[in-house]
């Protein structure tokens, strides 16, 4: 197996060349592993022998053999060499990961975010020069542990920014940027909609399908969530995938709260859904929040985050 093509930082060339030659007991095979020709490898090992003052390899016709001194040196160096190699590999993996992600934007969500995604991606390429953009939607875990998973992913660099309606307290490492409040409407299939219906009546008549229970907790001024007597039968279905939620609404199986951007997206896909306003005042609303590392919250990321949540 050939070695990785990166520059050695912690391991000296002479150590690496000796260890590979000793392992193979062949300058030809070692040179192939090291991606060099046998001649310079043999010369470098000879220079090492001159420095240590003893012969390490016995050069026989058609083959190379370790001397007793060579075997002893190889065995003594092997544990140290393997530890250095591990450090070398880990360091280069970290460096290559950082280089590969330098122009990469990774947006994390929890299944609730279709807000302006296509527009943001287009702007990210044209205006902010992100070359690679990825949407990670794998935070569909219990509400109680989602914050730890999100913050850990931000700190490790697995995601660049996380967008949600959930308001977590920020800390020394992570900043929370609050977006603008968005009024919610109720998505209902035309097949089950009665004349002159409004959201306050329909909300407790059918199961409510949402991204997760945390979304409902963030709905300001939403009286049904205060469990007044007439709303005690409110049923909640948790369906993270937006398309699946939309299918349930279209089929008349459930209803769903939607932001203005989700409404526009839904209308574009299907015309059989009506959007009802709430007559109670003030109307229920939510706001999106973005989370990012404090030391990364600068141009162009801060401008892009504004596009995401406002």
Sequence-distant (6+) residues with CB within 8 A of 212 are 110, 111, 112, 140, 143, 238, 240
Q: Which domains does the chain have, with CATH numbers?
A: 13-100 (1.10.10.10), 104-181+287-309 (3.40.190.10), 185-283 (3.40.190.10)
107 closest CA partner among 302, 290, 296, 288? 290
72 versus 125: which is more confidently predicted?
Answer: 72
**215, pLDDT greater than 50:** yes
Residue 201 clears pLDDT 90, i.e. is over it: no
* φ, ψ at 217 (rounded to 5°): -65, -25
For 81-115, the pLDDT digits (tens) are 888 888 887 777 666 655 555 567 888 887 666 55
Q: Does the pLDDT at position 211 exceed 70? A: yes
User: Looking at the predicted structure, is the pLDDT value of residue 173 above 50?
Assistant: yes
Q: Sorting pLDDT into bands at 50, 70 and 90, what band is 187?
A: very high
Taking residues 260-273, what's their average pLDDT? 78
Encode pLDDT of 219-265 as tens digits.
Answer: 776 655 444 444 455 677 877 777 888 889 999 999 998 888 788 87
DSSP state of 255: B
Does position 269 have pLDDT exceeding 80, yes or no? no
118 phi and psi angles, rounded to 5 deg: -60, -40
The per-residue pLDDT for 231 is 46
User: What is the pTM for the complete model shown?
Assistant: 0.59
Torsion of CA 267, 270, 273, 275, to 10 degrees: -10
In percent, the amount of the chain with pLDDT more than 70 equals: 80
Q: To which H or E segment does residue 20 belong?
A: helix 13-24
Per-residue model confidence (pLDDT) at position 1: 38
Q: How much is the pLDDT for 89?
A: 78
Q: For residue 154, is pLDDT > 90?
A: yes
DSSP string, 145-164: HHHHHHHHHHHHTS-SEEEE
In the numeric block, the tokens 């990670």 are attached to 136
Q: Tens of pLDDT along 2-39?
A: 444 445 666 788 888 899 899 989 888 888 888 888 88
pLDDT reported for residue 284: 84
* Mean pLDDT of the chain, nearest integer: 80
State the pLDDT at residue 66.
93
More confident site: 126 or 37: 37
pLDDT score, position 95: 65
How many CB atoms sit inside 10 A of residue 41's CB? 21
Residue 2: what pLDDT?
A: 42
pLDDT digits (tens, 9 = 90+) for 49-77: 998 899 999 988 878 899 999 999 999 99
């Amino acid at each position: 197996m050939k070695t990785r093509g990166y520059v050695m930082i912690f391991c000296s060339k002479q150590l690496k060349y000796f260890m590979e030659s000793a392992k193979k007991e062949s300058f030809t095979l070692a040179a192939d592993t090291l991606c060099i020709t046998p001649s310079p490898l043999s010369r470098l090992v000879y220079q090492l022998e001159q420095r240590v003052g003893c012969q390490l390899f016995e050069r026989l016709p058609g083959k190379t053999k370790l001397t007793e001194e060579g075997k002893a040196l190889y065995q003594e160096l092997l544990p140290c060499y393997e530890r250095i190699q591990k450090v070398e590999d880990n360091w280069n993996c970290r460096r290559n990961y950082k280089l590969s992600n330098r122009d990469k934007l990774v947006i994390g969500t929890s299944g609730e975010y279709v807000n302006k995604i296509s527009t943001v991606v287009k702007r990210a390429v044209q205006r902010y020069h992100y070359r690679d953009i990825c949407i990670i939607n794998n935070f569909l875990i219990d509400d109680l542990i989602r914050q730890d998973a999100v913050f850990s992913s931000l700190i490790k660099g697995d995601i660049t920014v996380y967008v949600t309606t959930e308001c977590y307290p920020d800390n020394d490492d992570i900043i929370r940027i609050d977006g603008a409040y968005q009024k919610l409407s109720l998505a209902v299939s035309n097949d089950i909609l009665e004349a002159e219906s409004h959201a306050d009546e329909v909300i407790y008549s059918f199961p409510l399908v949402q991204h997760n229970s945390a979304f409902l907790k963030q709905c300001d001024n939403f009286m049904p969530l205060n469990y007044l007597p007439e709303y005690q039968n409110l049923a909640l279905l948790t369906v993270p995938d937006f398309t699946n939620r939309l299918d349930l609404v279209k089929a008349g199986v459930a209803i769903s709260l939607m932001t203005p951007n989700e409404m526009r997206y839904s209308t574009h896909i299907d015309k059989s859904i009506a959007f009802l306003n709430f007559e109670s005042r003030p109307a229920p609303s939510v706001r999106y929040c973005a989370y990012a590392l404090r030391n990364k919250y600068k141009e162009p990321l801060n401008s892009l985050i504004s596009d995401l949540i406002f």
